[in-house]
């Protein structure tokens, strides 16, 4: 089953001069498939990721996620798609320091509104357990180490059991052991990861 399809995606930057970054990018991803995008810096890896993640809507071509065409969708609908079907892990962790670790993981789950707060909390604890940081659940993110923060970010990406996990150099700051472990883990969960590795 095709989880994500990109058809003839073109993207240009216009400032200060028009440069076409992505030319006719066409590919598809099956469920459970693991994909790495490799290229030298400035070749458009992140740009492609932002388009695939629906955050960037300024492109030509078609993007189909889970059989639904993303073009002409409203901002709120795209937000819903990101919430429900896509998990994000960024190069930088982007945790909210105002909330506890547990709450950070729970936020997208509560936003989805599919489960009650108690259920979301239970699920969040499970994800933290899988990543081995359940003991830090009550702490604030700024009390954690870099690697722990990144693991929290991974737990957050998993909370809504997304179809796709997109990661932008996620494992750079993780130890080799955690990195291997994370990758194995994501395979066993039958999810697709699009990962940018430099």
Nearer residue to another protein within complex by CB, 10 or 91: 91
Is residue 110 involved in binding another protein (CB under 8 A)?
yes
At a CB cut-off of 8 Å and minimum separation 6, what does 92 contact?
none
Is residue 96 involved in binding another protein (CB under 8 A)?
yes
| Interface segment toward another protein; rule CB under 8 A; list 6-14, 15-23, 65-73, 83-91 | 83-91
- DSSP lists the bridge partners of residue 22 as 11
Q: In the stretch 29-68, what mask flags binding to another protein with x, by CB under 8 A? A: -----------------x---x--x-xx------------
Handedness of CA 109, 115, 116, 119 (dihedral sign): negative
* CB-based burial, 36-52: b 16+ in 10 Å, e otherwise: ebeeeeeebbbbbbbbb
Instruction: Tokens for 139, please give them.
Output: 């702490």
Residues that bind another protein (CB under 8 A): 46, 50, 53, 55-56, 75-76, 79-80, 82-84, 88, 90-92, 94-99, 107-108, 110-113, 156, 168
């Amino acid at each position: 089953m095709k989880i994500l399809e990109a058809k003839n995606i073109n993207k240009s930057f216009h400032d200060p001069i028009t440069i076409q970054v992505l030319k006719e990018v066409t590919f598809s991803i099956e469920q459970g498939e693991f994909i790495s995008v490799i290229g030298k810096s400035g070749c458009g890896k992140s740009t492609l990721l932002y388009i695939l993640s629906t955050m960037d809507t300024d492109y030509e071509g078609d993007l189909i996620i889970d059989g639904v065409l993303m073009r002409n969708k409203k901002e709120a609908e795209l937000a819903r798609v990101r919430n429900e079907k896509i998990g994000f892990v960024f190069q930088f962790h982007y945790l909210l320091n105002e909330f506890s670790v547990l709450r950070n993981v729970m936020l997208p789950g509560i936003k989805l509104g599919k489960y009650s707060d108690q259920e979301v909390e239970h699920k969040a604890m499970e994800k933290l357990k899988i990543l081995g940081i359940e003991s830090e659940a009550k702490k604030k993110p700024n009390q954690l180490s870099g690697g722990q923060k990144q693991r929290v970010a991974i737990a957050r990406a998993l909370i809504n059991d997304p179809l796709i996990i997109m990661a932008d150099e996620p494992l750079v700051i993780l130890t080799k052991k955690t990195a291997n472990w994370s990758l194995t883990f994501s395979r066993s969960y039958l999810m697709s990861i699009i990962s940018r590795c430099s």
